[in-house]
Amino acid sequence: MLTPQSIQNKKIIVLVPTHNEGSVLRQSVEPLLQQMPLQVVIIDDGSHQPAVKQVQGLPVVVLRHKVNLGQGAALQTGITYARKANADYVITFDADGQHAASDLPALLQPLLRNEADIVLGSRFINGHSNSVPLFKKGILHAARFINYSFTGILLSDAHNGIRAFNKTALDKISLTENRMAHASEILFLIKKHRLRYKEVPVTVRYTRYARQKGQGGGSAIKILFDLLLHKLFK
């Protein structure tokens, strides 16, 4: 497992994009701070109530988009910040309480061993998929194959927001898709820059809150449309 030595002198930044998460944001961020020495950067993507009010008293950095641009744009703002801050490893983590902070060591492991440049969390390996709602499962599997047809990369999961990058990946990943199509754009960039990638099993919790906030079938069509435009105008 992660020994204190292996991450010693390494700067780890966790990016948490958020938009109107309310008190759930604090519940998502607090467990992160108990994990290991890391810097949490919250990117408030134009929430009505500034997210900074939700995380008072926590040692975090908050960047605020004055207007709502989308999760992809928020992540890229965080990535730019992490580059400037000279981070060694960057983790992306959802603010809606779906991800488990305890998955962080497993996510970092392949990077520390230099086996991959980018590690993607998957809810569908090692039986972590039991609680995924059936409809959601269907959409995600369709998305896997759509991503495969665009990139030639077939993953076991799609649109899972928990990922880890090393410096090499951090330099190459520049997201231009402001909304949810950024998840596929990451795969385009993996392919384009020949980044080494690896999937590790992670837990995704389907709380009632996350189900309400999560994306339904309609957003899948929007993502597909954004992807087509991305390919057309790149």
Partner 1 sequence: MNGIQLLLLAGVSFIVLYFITRLKNRLMDIVLLTALVLCAIVFILWPETTNKLAALLGVGRGADLIVYISILTFWFTILKLYRRIRLLEQLFTEIVRQQALQQPEQLSSGSINEPHKDTVVPKDHSV
Which distant-in-sequence residues (6+ apart) come within 8 Å of 4 by Cβ? none
Nearer to partner 1, 21 or 103 (CB): 21
- In the complex with partner 1, the residue whose CB is nearer, 52 or 224, is 52
* Minimum CB distance to partner 1 smaller for 81 or for 188: 81
x-or-dash string of contact with partner 1, 54-93, rule CB under 8 A: -xxxxxxxxxxxxx-x---x--xx--xx--x---------
- Rounded Cα–Cα distance for residues 232 and 100 (Å): 37
* 48 counts as binding partner 1 under rule CB under 8 A: no
Please state the three-class secondary structure of 86-136 as a single string: CCCEEEECCCCCCECHHHHHHHHHHHHCCCCCEEEEECCCCCCCCCCCHHH
Q: Which is nearer to partner 1, 154 or 229 (CB)?
A: 229
Q: How many residues in the shown chain lie near partner 1 by CB under 8 A?
A: 29
Nearer to partner 1, 76 or 109 (CB): 76
Q: Which of 18, 28, 109, 178 binds partner 1 (CB under 8 A)?
A: 178
**Contact partners, residue 128, CB within 8 Å, separation at least 6:** 122, 201, 202, 203, 204
Q: Which candidate, 24, 26, 139, 15, places its Cα nearest to that of 71?
A: 15
Query: Which pair of tokens denotes residue 150?
Result: 């665009």
Is residue 27 close enough to count as binding partner 1 by CB under 8 A? no
Note whether 227 binds partner 1 by CB under 8 A.
no
Establish if 232 lies at the interface with partner 1 (CB under 8 A). yes
- Measured distance CA(203)–CA(217) in Å, rounded: 22
Residues interacting with partner 1, by CB under 8 A?
A: 43, 50, 52-53, 55-67, 69, 73, 76-77, 80-81, 84, 176, 178, 229, 232-233
